[in-house]
Structure 1
Amino acid sequence: MAKALGISASYVNLLENNERSVSVAILFRLMDTYGVDWRDIAEDDNANLLPELRGAVQDPLFAQLRPDLPQLRAALIHSPDLAAAFLRLHRAYHAISDQLLSMTELAGQTPLSSPEAAVHDIFRKNRNNFRDLEEAAEAFWGTEQVERDDIYYALKRRLRDRLGVRVRVLPVEDMPFSLRDYNVTQREIQLSEALDHTNRIFQLVHMCALLELAPLLDGVIAASVLKDPQGVARLRVELANYFAAAVLMPYDAFLAEAKATKYDFDHLATRFGVSFEQACHRATTLQREGAPGVPFFFLRIDKGGNVAKRFNATSFPLAEHGGACPRLDVHTSFRTPGRIVPQFVEMPDGGRFFVFSRTVERPTWVRHAQDNRLAVAMGCSLEHVSEIGYAEPFLLSGITMTPVGINCRICPRNHCDQRAYQALTLPEPVNTMRRGATRFEA
């Protein structure tokens, strides 16, 4: 071939391995020598597929395994159908990722993950329980006996005597859009007067974690192997929150009271001097080996239906990715502020859960602002429902299951009258002569 084309054998080898492009002159020699019709080459789709393939492998997903140009050319020549299937799969991956991100803030473990998603995954891998932080919380007060009514003043004294840090409450106009700040220069923790007494206590314990237990937090963060600076900062905040909850709601005492009251969270919040939401958070962490509580998942949802926070001691898909389904009564709980809204739900895969929801209030700065009301939902699998007091009326009168899904884009329930999007899993042809329960069901 080299002699026939008038080139070196090594150059032929480079052409065969897609390491050199075929020049026009050599192309004509190939046609003349081997009787190749130029139209067969002109109609080859590989020239169009190669740029698309090169663009696809630039996705950060392939940062560690990115094939080079000769490999891409070889794939198109030797396995064109496989290359086309890869491109189709990559396009579908991007489309579904965009839709899931927009609907449920689901990001998985790709480089597209948000810091919140990465932190959530770390908590889930630890079953929402950190032994080192629990032990540090148990040792926090040492031999000092602190009555619940005196915790706020004991914390101020501790910060002053141990760290030389004072606490000051400032008017809302002096702390616009801020609830807590730490002035390093003046060694002063500034709290907004918009915080109620319960949350002032929580913020001070949180600061104790950041200032006193920095090495412990550093160790937990290092073990997480999280490298993204934003993710590390987010994880530090959530670990400090975890510690604060463990101090204010000691594991053994909180678990005993939860079981005795069948998880009455209003009672638990009152007994331990915390908010309803903080008591719910704490319940998701009761997964110590040998002394577990009910494995709850927690969702916090705003009035727009966005899942603003999730904690999870389970592997349930509703806990991991759900919250956007309009059939969940957490969305209707805004109509009855402060009341528990119980519900039994069933997922498309047959999984059944008991979920109860309630609104919670957030601090408000100005008179003319909208209320900052949010809704929280706690859920567990049906096998634990006998341990939950909120479910007792239904156990006596009978259970009615509400069919729910993750979100409309991937929900396979064909005849749902609350569908907001055409499901990717239901590519039904449009029947122009029929109108179903929604415009997506023809």
Structure 2
Amino acid sequence: MRKTLIGPQLRQLRRRNGHTQAEMARRLGISPAYVNLLENNQRSLSVPVLVALSEHYGIDMRSLVQDGETHKLADLRAAVRDPIFPGDPPDLAELRAALDHAPGLVELFVHLYQSHRSMVEQLKRVPGTGSTESLLRVSPETAIHDFFRDHGNYFETLETAAAVLRSRVGGSSDDMYTLLKRQLRIEHSIDTRVRRMSDMPEALRTFDAKTGRVDLSEALDHPNRIFQLAHVLGLLEAGNQLDALVEESGIDTEAGRARVRVELTNYFAAAFLMPYDETLNLARETGYDIDRMAAAFGVSFEQVCHRLTTLQRDGARGIPFFFLRVDRAGNVTKRFNATAFTLAEQGGACPVWDIHGAFRMPGVIVPQFVELPEGGRFFTLSRTTDRPVFSHRTQDRRLVVAIGCELSHVEGVAYAKSFNLSDDSLYAPIGLNCHVCPRQACSQRAHQPLHVNLPIDAFRRGRTRYES
């Protein structure tokens, strides 16, 4: 018999049966040390051990000695040489080590790569999608989202600068509009004016540093007038910190750098209006009651939701929330994430996740428990938020804000207190979107998934036209 090494297969077999090396050794009539040598490919498989494996574990001997390693190595080598991976590819020794010590992970990686290639090829057949390079190019929105996510949606330098400025400004939240105008006028020689909508038909706020003037549209409500002034003050007071973070982001387009500066300055404004320690303490005291927090700080519902995602300081962390804002057509217009959850990265397009149900009940918070295909469970809250109204033509321009956290954090959220968390029927089975959702027999399916072949039978009609 030729020399046969089966280390990874043997290790997987043992772990699948829940056995230690000592238990496997006892069953096979060999020493634990010999099992260890076999698993590390330091000994080849003998015929007696092969027979013992067949007898005690009920496996086909041929499944252990088939030489599929060459084929797997070729697939892995081809995958890592794809131009989508920057830098030099791993050498053969590294690839063989991966196959030896993590065969399951290698199999998943190759499967993921093959699915990626398949979807890219399908997208390239769609008119107007352009080249592979253009398909894989990261948009400024994605780059900004990834930059915030990589920081855990928390920026210590901005928090510190906001806290120092808040201490200097003083006063209470009730007087914040007057305090901000005073700070801009006295320390920066900036005057603030509220202008008629007819004078500012295309903007809600303009700031001209040369003329020393901030103009606010009368379409802004009081909390948003305050937020816009805090934003302008952030541009003036935290310029060095903003410059450093924009450079750190690595975004190289002019539009992208401008966008990330806007988002970072919004972060500063929220940190100024809702100081970290006060916000975290109030959140815990009220069970993350968003309306009570909005009233306490004189801010909007949406601004509180956004601020909750940023309470991620080491040693004083709040519940890690993700944040989405969607319009009536399902477009995600804002997304922030203090978690590592896929739902936050790509969600918002599943009709079973009843974000859009909030449009039917303006101003009412809609709670929902959801479950992803891989089993992850979340608690989400959705509510409408109103846009500024310029005229009768711009009425009812609402968006929906949604925040959510993993089920393990839900005990600290007052909105979830009345639900029986052990009731499996409580959790709505959702996906990210129909194109990548593997769920079968979903009555809301709108597309054939790109990576799953759903069963079709001409003699049977299923819940949708995509499967029988």
Contact 1:269–1:276, Cα closer than 8 Å, also in 2? yes
Secondary structure, counterpart of 1:167 in structure 2:
strand
Give the gaps of 5 or more residues in structure 2.
1-81, 89-112
Secondary structure, counterpart of 1:233 in structure 2:
helix
* 2:394 corresponding residue in structure 1: 369
* 1:407 paired to 2:433: yes
Q: Tell me: CA distance 1:88–1:385, structure 2 relative to 1, closer, same or farther (3 Å).
A: closer
Contact 1:61–1:110, Cα closer than 8 Å, also in 2? no
* 2:460 corresponding residue in structure 1: 434
AA aligned opposite 2:460:
R
Q: 225, 248, 260: which is aligned to 2:285?
A: 260
Offset, 1:356: 1.2
Secondary structure, counterpart of 2:418 in structure 1:
helix
AA aligned opposite 1:229:
E
Secondary structure, counterpart of 2:170 in structure 1:
coil
TM-score w.r.t. the length of structure 2 is: 0.72
Offset, 1:308: 1.1
* 1:200 paired to 2:210: no
Distance 1:290 1:113 in 2: 33
Q: Tell me: CA distance 1:89–1:137, structure 2 relative to 1, closer, same or farther (3 Å).
A: closer
* 1:302 paired to 2:359: no
Alignment of 1:21-170 (within 5 A): 90=117, 92-95=119-122, 112-170=137-195
Distance 1:108 1:218 in 2: 30
* 1:422 corresponding residue in structure 2: 448
Q: 328, 336, 342: which is aligned to 2:353?
A: 328
Distance 1:94 1:182 in 2: 47
Contact 2:274–2:297, Cα closer than 8 Å, also in 1? yes
Distance 2:145 2:124 in 1: 18
Contact 2:308–2:321, Cα closer than 8 Å, also in 1? yes
* 1:212 paired to 2:237: yes
Secondary structure, counterpart of 2:391 in structure 1:
coil
* 1:277 corresponding residue in structure 2: 302
Contact 1:159–1:165, Cα closer than 8 Å, also in 2? yes
Offset, 1:161: 1.5
Q: 372, 378, 392: which is aligned to 1:353?
A: 378
Secondary structure, counterpart of 2:405 in structure 1:
strand
Distance 1:334 1:274 in 2: 22
Contact 1:177–1:365, Cα closer than 8 Å, also in 2? no
Contact 1:140–1:247, Cα closer than 8 Å, also in 2? yes
Q: Tell me: CA distance 1:92–1:163, structure 2 relative to 1, closer, same or farther (3 Å).
A: same
* 1:180 paired to 2:201: no
Offset, 1:63: 9.4
Secondary structure, counterpart of 1:378 in structure 2:
strand
Offset, 1:98: 9.7
Distance 1:396 1:201 in 2: 40
Secondary structure, counterpart of 2:324 in structure 1:
strand
Distance 1:161 1:214 in 2: 18
Offset, 1:370: 4.4
Secondary structure, counterpart of 1:173 in structure 2:
coil
Q: Tell me: CA distance 1:294–1:108, structure 2 relative to 1, closer, same or farther (3 Å).
A: farther
Secondary structure, counterpart of 1:204 in structure 2:
helix
1:62-95, Cα deviation, whole Å (9 max, x unpaired): 8989xxxxxxxxxxxxxxxxxxxx9996463253
Distance 1:98 1:310 in 2: 30
Q: Tell me: CA distance 1:108–1:369, structure 2 relative to 1, closer, same or farther (3 Å).
A: farther
Q: 341, 344, 369: which is aligned to 1:344?
A: 369
1:320-353, Cα deviation, whole Å (9 max, x unpaired): 1111000011111111111111111110001111
Q: Tell me: CA distance 1:287–1:97, structure 2 relative to 1, closer, same or farther (3 Å).
A: farther
AA aligned opposite 1:309:
K
TM-score w.r.t. the length of structure 1 is: 0.76
Offset, 1:414: 1.0
Distance 2:343 2:400 in 1: 16
| Percent sequence identity over aligned pairs | 50
